[in-house]
Amino acid sequence: MEQLLGACAARQAELCISAIQWGEVAGKLRKRLGQAGELRVLSSVLPSEAKIVPATAERAVRAAALRMDHKMAYADAFALDLAMDSPDHVLVTADYGFKDVDGMAKIEFLPAK
């Protein structure tokens, strides 16, 4: 992830994250670090060049269909939907639960969760 964030900051790669996943990151940080720690990390972890993709009504409906059709978490369905937006998008994850939908989008699995 450090390499991806660095490449994004250097404008060598585009990086986007669903607002739903960004919210999950915020929640996990708050649980581990408290409110002050959450805010500190959120303001420094994502390069300004990265894009947080809104959860539109259309994306929410597509994510709901993915959730139901593939029995996956709703938040994960948003990530998959975003990856499916373009053949250039790659979903980078340490969640091996995405193995079940690997053929639907480009997915790169990190070595550890």
- Residue 109: the pLDDT is 92
User: Mean pLDDT over all residues of the chain?
Assistant: 88
Question: Please, what are the domains in the chain?
Answer: 2-109 (3.40.50.1010)
- Give the Cα-Cα-Cα angle 43, 84, 113 (nearest 5 degrees): 55
Residues 1, 110 contacting (CB under 8 angstroms): yes
pLDDT digits (tens, 9 = 90+) for 38-89: 888 888 877 677 889 999 999 999 999 999 999 999 999 999 999 999 888 9
pLDDT at 113 over 60: no
